[in-house]
Every structure is written in C-alpha cells, then in structure tokens.
Chain A
Amino acid sequence: MDQLINDFSLGLFFWQLVIFIGLIFLIAKFAWKPILSSLDAREQGIVEALAAAENAKLEMSNLEASNQAAAQEARLQRDEMIKEAREIKEKMIADAAGQAQEKADKIIASAQEAIESEKKAALADIKSQVAELSLNIAEKLTRKELSEKDAQLALIDKMLAEANI
C-alpha cells in the first residue's frame, strides 16, 4: 500500500484527467454523436421499412380479398344474367308460340268463316238454282202432263243430267 501511494504520480493523474476529458468531448462531438445518430437513423429506417412491408402485405391481402369478392360478385352477376337470358328466351319462345297459335287460330277462324260464307253462298246459289230447276222441271213436267211415266222419268234424269250443278 505504501509502495502504491508512493508510486501514485500526480503529474500522470493530471495529464490522464486532461487527456481523457478532452478525448471524451472531442470524440463525443466528432465520432460518437454522428455514429450513434446514424445508427439510430438506420434502425429507425429498418423499423419503418419493416412496418411498410407489413402494411404492403396487409394491403396486398386486402386487395386479394376484394379481388376475390369482386370475382365472386361477377360470377353471381353472370349467373343471374344467364338465368335472366334463359327466362327471356323461354318467354320469347312461349310468346311466339302463343302468338303463332293465336294467328293460326285467327286464320283458321277466318278461313272457316270464309268457307262458311262461301258454303252459305253456294248453298243459296244451289237453292236458287234448284228452285229454278225445280220450276223448270215442274214446268216441263206440267207441260208434258204426265203422259208417259217412263218418258217422264227419263226426262227428269235427262234434265238432272243437264242441270249441271
């Protein structure tokens, strides 16, 4: 201990104090401060970059989800459209069939009407001709006066044949 105290050099202590405190202030200003602040800046940057990457990932997954939702919606819409189109087609077919039926019915009805009226006209014509014929026949018959039965019948036949209906 005595030796230790004897060896203690105040001069060295003084210089060490001056050099070391000087070194602390110098190096703190010119080295530690810029080094630590750039380390901090870099670490901050890394943290921010990681957060940004995480955000981007989240956004990406969000985007994917929304994409999927959009695709799903589109699919639904497509199905809806196909269904609608099918319905429209069926309706159109049904409508067309109905209309055709109606038209055909109408045509048939008008045809029947025409036939009926033609028939009626023909019948009327026939009636009038038959009446006329009958009158003629009756006239001739009456003219001949039932002279000969066979001849009368032949005559009727002949007249009927003549009466070209």
Chain B
Amino acid sequence: MYRAYLKTAFFALVFFAFAKANGQNEHEKQFTEGEKIVFDEVDEGEYGEGDAVNTKAEVDNFISHHLKDSHYFTLFEKAEDHFFVSLPLPVIIWDNGLRVFMSSVFHHGEEIAEIDGNYYQLHHSKIYKVNGPKDFIASDVHHPDNIKPFDISITKNVATSILVGLIIFLIFGGLAKQYKKRAIPKGFGRVLEPLVIYVRDEIAKPNVGEKKYRKFMGFLLTVFFFIWIANLLGLTPLGTNLTGNIAVTVCLALLTYIITTFSANKDYWKHIFWMPGVHPIMKIFFIPIELLGTLTKPFALLVRLYANITAGHVVLFTLLGAITVAKTDLNIGTGASIGYGVFYFILALFITLIELLVAFLQAYIFTLLSALFIGMAVAEHDHPEHEGAEEDDIDEVRERFV
C-alpha cells in the first residue's frame, strides 16, 4: 500500500515540477524584453495594485472562468502580467481532419496558433477558427460567429477525470491485491474496505435487492467513488471542477438511465405502458407521464449533482473573493478590512467543512438513487400496490436529502 502512496506522491511531484518549469518558460518567453519580474517575487506576493483578482468584476470573472473547462491545468495565474504556472494539455480538434497539438501554442489565448495552414484562437476557453495570424476575436464578444471546430481535447476536466480514474484504480487495485495475501486488509485498506461494504450493504442490497445487486455493483461502486473523489479533488488547491460540469453529470446520469432501461424487466414496462389497477382510459394518459418519469429521474440526478457542486464552488470562491473585494471596492480602513477578511475566512472555512460533507453526500445520493432506479426496474412485483410503496420511498429519500 505504501508503494501506492509513493507512486501518487511521485506523480504529484512530477506534475508540479513540470508545471513550474512550464511557468518559467512562459515567463521567460513573455518577458524577454520589457518589464522583468523575478519568478520568486510571485511567491512573496508583492503584487502591485490591480495585479491580482481584486475587484468585484474580476472575482465574478474568475469564478465563471473556474466553473468552465480549460485547455490548461493552471495552478497560479496572473493574466495581467502574462504569468502562468500551468501545464499545457493536448488539443485534439476535428477540422477537415484530425489535428493534435499542445495547448501551449495558444499562450493562454494571447496568440493565434497556426496549425497546418489553419489559424485557431483560444477565446474564453473555446477554440475558434480565425482567418489570419492577426484576426483576433474581441474579448467582449461572447458568442462569436467564427467556426468552432469539433473539440475533443484532453482538457483540464478530461485530465482530472483520468486522474480520478487512476486514483480509484490504484487504491482499490491495491486493496484487491491485499486479499490475495491476507483475509483482512491492513493500513489504508482498512479505511477502504468499510466503504466498499457500506456501498454494498447500505446502498446496493436494500435498493436493488439481495438477489440481483451483484450485477450492478461494478457501476454503483465506481460511480460512488468516482463522484466522491472528484468532489474532494475539487476542494483541493488543484482547483478542478469535474462534477460541477454539466457534461460530466449528464454522462453519469445517462449511464444510470441506460442501465436502468436495459436491465428493466417485464413488470417495469408494464407499469409504464399499461399501468395495472387503473381505468383503461387513464392507462393511456399514464403512458406519456410514466415515459417522462423515466427521463426526469436521471435528469434530477444530473442537475442535483451539477447544481450542488457548482453552488459549493461559487459560494467558496465568492467568500474568498469577498476578502479582497472588501479591501479594494469598499472604502474602509485597514483595521475594518482585516476584520472583514477574518470574518470571511472563518465563513469560508466553515463552508469548506460543509462542502466536505456535501462531497460525500452527493456521491451517496447519486449512487443511492441510481440503485433505487435500478431496483425499481428489476423488482418483481407481486402486488400492484408494491410499486406505490417504492414511489413513496423515493419521495421520502428526496425530501430527506434535497
């Protein structure tokens, strides 16, 4: 198990070293002539006025930027000084042929890249095709008419997704390996094993059913740990926002929908298309309602996860931004601004603790409701009122958590 820690630490170190080196490169490239700032000065935090994210507009801008996907894995940035500590990621676009290159050619959107005779600009984290090396899209235009090539780049979120997958694979692969040698795992495995048992005994077994749960354990366990670890990574200074991205939650909920639909038995379809126990005319009315119901269930899943995580990140960044905004936008003395700073810091700390809970809770709810939907699809109905009882359960669960 320790080898796994070491491996993770090693990768982190490589990443940081790479990111730092890249930052220095950018720095050197950008500032060969003109004002020179020493790399170390940034660490000391001697920013001039207006350098950092200080005003309300800048905070808003920073937050909306954070919530979006990016073609760089950025740790620190000072866009005004053209200073970035970031890892460029591979860009893969389809524009009359597959084009693959590193995102470093965009210089964080400041330059237009020429790839195989075509010109591309990174504009508000999206890649647009432009006509020439000087044909910049104005930064205040949010929806330019330029051609947007189909972008399947390894973006920050894709990289995070791979990282989360790697973490899960490493820690649980390690746990699985332990069982070959001993019956009871030791070390970190003792923390992981109860979590696996928790998902199995508290989420899968009671909701899917004792007989059928085993088939869905792969999905339920993976989705639980994926969401949880992605949520937790979002709270680290890495600044990722994977589960707060609608494309990711759509993907996860879509898998729940597909699994539910394809593992559904005759009873499930019968309850949708010919609801037993009601008048035949009503049965016809029930068909669209029930069909819509199958879609709203995963839709609620994806919106809940997206909204919870996004809201958490927005609140946290707002509180942190409020510290600097209190200093620059409000005309108050140093003492009062320190007071504001302490107040918002404590509040942010408190919200972070709540976010730790939310990180687990959202993973739990997503997995629980997925298990519940799967359970409803595979359940054997002996009595017509059985279905009603399960609906009640869902409502109860929803009321409890939402």
Which chain A residues have a beta carbon within 8 Å of chain B's beta carbons?
4, 6-17, 19-28, 30-36, 38-39, 42, 45
Contacts and interface: CB of A to CB of B under 8 A. Distances in A.
B69 interface: yes
B250 A8 contact: yes
B169 A9 contact: no
B247 A10 contact: yes
Given A12-B245, A39-B197, 17 more contacts: A9-B69, A10-B151, A11-B150, A11-B155, A12-B158, A15-B158, A16-B247, A20-B252, A23-B165, A24-B222, A27-B221, A32-B217, A32-B218, A34-B179, A36-B214, A38-B183, A39-B196
Contacts of B165: 19-20, 22-23
Provide the main secondary structure of the chain B interface.
helix
B143 interface: yes
21 contacts: A8-B246, A9-B247, A11-B150, A12-B245, A14-B152, A15-B154, A15-B158, A17-B255, A19-B161, A20-B161, A23-B168, A23-B169, A24-B218, A27-B168, A27-B172, A27-B218, A31-B176, A32-B172, A32-B196, A36-B214, A39-B197
Contacts of A7: 68, 245-246
Contacts of B175: 31, 35
Provide the main secondary structure of the chain A interface.
helix
B247 A35 contact: no
B168 A24 contact: no
Q: Which of A31, A36, A38 has most B Cβ within 10 Å?
A: A31
Contacts of B217: 28, 32, 36
A11 B255 contact: no
Interface string B148-178: 0011111101100110010011001101100
| Closest CB pairs A-B (n = 5) | A28-B218, A31-B172, A38-B179, A11-B152, A13-B247
Contacts of A27: 168-169, 172-173, 218, 221-222
Interface residues of B, number: 45
Given A16-B161, A38-B179, A11 B218 contact: no
Nearest to A28: B218
B200 interface: yes
B219 interface: yes
A19 B155 CA distance: 13
Contacts of A30: 169, 173, 176
Contacts of A39: 193, 196-197, 200
A6 B143 contact: yes
B291 interface: no
Contacts of B68: 7
B226 interface: yes
B251 A16 contact: yes
Nearest to B245: A12
Nearest to B303: A4
B248 interface: yes
A59 to B, nearest CB: 26
B247 A8 contact: yes
B255 A20 contact: yes
Contacts of B193: 35, 39
